[in-house]
C-alpha cells in the first residue's frame, strides 16, 4: 500500500545564536493509510516535536514531510492533533458547541441543522449523547478525552496525531479510552500516529512501533500480535520484553537525551550526529 505520510531526513534545530541543538535529527519513516503507528521513547527524545512537525505547527530545518505526496508546509484540515492534558475544549461552549465550532472551521458553509446532526452523531459514537448540552467543567477527565476524540473525528481528518492523550487518566480510564480508540479507528479507518511513554499502550494499540532516542529514530518494530491483545498471553509478554529491550538499551548507555552539552551544536556546524 502507498504510504500516506512520508518523513524523510527530518531535522529540527532548537536554540538561538551561537549554540543550537537538534530536537530531531535525520528521522525517516513512512505510515500507510489506515495504519496505527506509535512513537515511544524517553522524555525529551523528540516525540512531540516530531508530531508538531507533521501537524505543521513547527517549521523544520532539513528534510521533508509529505502527506499523500504533497509537501506539508503548515497546518491543514487533513490532520488533527490531540494534545496532552485536559484543557482542550472552549470552556464557554457546550460539548455540542465545541464540536460544531471545530466542524465550522473545516466544513465552511455547512447548514446549522447538518452541523447539529453531525455533532450529535459523533457524540453518540463516543457515548456522550446525554452530555451534549453540558459545559467542559461538568465533565470528568475520561469524558473530556472522549469529547476530544469526538471533536477530532468530526472534522474527518485523514491523520489523527495524538500526543500522550491518555496520560492524565487512571489505569481504568486509560484502558477504556484505548478500547474506544481502537473501536473508532476500525470504524473510521483514520490513520493514527500516537505518542506514548507506555509500552503496554503502544503494544495494545499499534501496528508498528517507532522507538526514538536522543532525537533520532532508533528502531521500527512491527507488532506481530493479533488483536485483541491480552497482556496475560505468553506471546504478548515475549513481545513486551523485546520492546523493553530496544527502548532500554538507550537508558543503559547512561546518555541523557539531546540537551546535553556534549551533543549541542553550533549553528554553523549543523551536521547532526
Ligand X SMILES: Nc1ncnc2c1ncn2[C@@H]1O[C@H](COP(=O)(O)OP(=O)(O)OP(=O)(O)O)[C@@H](O)[C@H]1O
Q: Are 217 and 39 in contact (CB under 8 A)?
A: no
Among candidate residues 75, 86, 74, the one with its CA nearest the CA of residue 169 = 86
Please provide the size of the chain in residues: 273
Backbone φ/ψ region at 123: left (φ over 0), alpha (ψ -120 to 50), beta = alpha
Nearer to ligand X, 136 or 257 (CB): 257
Residue 124 belongs to what H/E stretch?
Answer: helix 112-125
Q: Are 199 and 243 in contact (CB under 8 A)?
A: yes
Instruction: Report residue 124 as a C-alpha cell.
Output: 453518540
Q: Rounded to the nearest whole angstrom, what is the least distance from the CB of residue 228 to ligand X in the complex? A: 27
Nearer to ligand X, 152 or 212 (CB): 212
Nearer to ligand X, 55 or 143 (CB): 55
Nearer to ligand X, 98 or 145 (CB): 145
Nearer to ligand X, 175 or 259 (CB): 259
Among candidate residues 187, 138, 184, the one with its CA nearest the CA of residue 165 = 184
Nearer to ligand X, 123 or 258 (CB): 258
Among candidate residues 210, 172, 222, 226, the one with its CA nearest the CA of residue 7 = 210
Q: Rounded to the nearest whole angstrom, what is the least distance from the CB of residue 168 to ligand X in the complex? A: 13
From CA 208, how far away is CA 122, in angstroms rounded?
27
Q: Rounded to the nearest whole angstrom, what is the least distance from the CB of residue 145 to ligand X in the complex? A: 18
3-state secondary structure of 232: coil
From CA 76, how far away is CA 47, in angstroms rounded?
20
Residues that bind ligand X (CB under 6 A): 14, 23, 41, 43-49, 257-259
Q: Rounded to the nearest whole angstrom, what is the least distance from the CB of residue 200 to ligand X in the complex? A: 16
Nearer to ligand X, 162 or 258 (CB): 258
The C-alpha cell 495524538 sits at 162
Q: Rounded to the nearest whole angstrom, what is the least distance from the CB of residue 21 to ligand X in the complex? A: 7
Backbone φ/ψ region at 215: left (φ over 0), alpha (ψ -120 to 50), beta = left
Q: Rounded to the nearest whole angstrom, what is the least distance from the CB of residue 131 to ligand X in the complex? A: 30
From CA 270, how far away is CA 264, in angstroms rounded?
10
Q: Rounded to the nearest whole angstrom, what is the least distance from the CB of residue 120 to ligand X in the complex? A: 35
Amino acid at each position: 500500500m502507498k504510504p500516506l505520510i512520508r518523513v524523510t531526513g527530518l531535522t529540527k534545530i532548537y536554540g538561538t545564536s551561537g549554540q543550537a541543538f537538534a530536537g530531531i535529527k535525520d528521522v525517516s519513516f513512512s505510515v500507510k493509510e489506515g495504519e496505527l503507528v506509535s512513537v515511544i521513547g524517553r522524555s525529551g527524545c523528540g516525540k512531540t516535536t516530531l508530531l508538531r512537525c507533521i501537524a505543521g505547527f513547527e517549521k523544520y530545518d532539513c528534510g521533508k514531510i509529505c502527506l499523500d505526496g504533497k509537501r506539508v508546509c503548515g497546518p491543514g484540515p487533513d490532520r488533527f492533533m490531540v494534545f496532552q492534558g485536559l484543557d482542550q475544549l472552549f470552556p464557554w461552549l457546550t460539548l455540542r458547541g465545541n464540536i460544531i465550532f471545530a466542524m465550522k472551521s473545516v466544513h465552511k458553509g455547512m447548514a446549522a441543522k447538518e452541523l447539529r446532526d453531525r455533532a450529535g452523531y459523533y457524540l453518540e459514537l463516543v457515548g456522550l449523547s446525554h452530555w451534549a448540552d453540558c459545559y467542559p467543567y461538568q465533565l470528568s477527565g475520561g469524558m473530556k478525552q472522549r469529547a476530544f476524540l469526538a471533536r477530532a473525528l468530526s472534522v474527518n481528518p485523514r491523520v489523527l496525531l495524538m500526543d500522550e492523550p491518555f496520560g492524565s487518566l487512571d489505569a481504568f480510564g486509560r484502558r477504556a479510552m484505548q478500547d474506544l480508540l481502537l473501536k473508532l479507528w476500525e470504524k473510521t479507518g483514520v490513520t493514527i500516529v500516537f505518542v506514548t511513554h507506555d509500552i503496554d499502550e503502544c503494544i495494545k494499540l499499534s501496528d508498528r512501533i517507532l522507538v526514538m532516542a536522543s532525537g533520532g529514530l532508533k528502531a521500527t518494530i512491527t507488532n506481530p500480535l493479533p488483536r485483541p491483545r491480552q497482556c496475560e498471553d505468553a506471546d504478548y509478554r515475549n513481545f513486551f520484553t523485546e520492546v523493553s529491550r530496544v527502548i532500554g538499551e538507550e537508558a543503559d548507555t547512561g546518555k541523557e537525551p539531546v540537551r546535553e552539552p556534549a551533543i549541542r551544536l553550533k549553528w554553523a556546524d549543523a551536521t547532526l550526529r
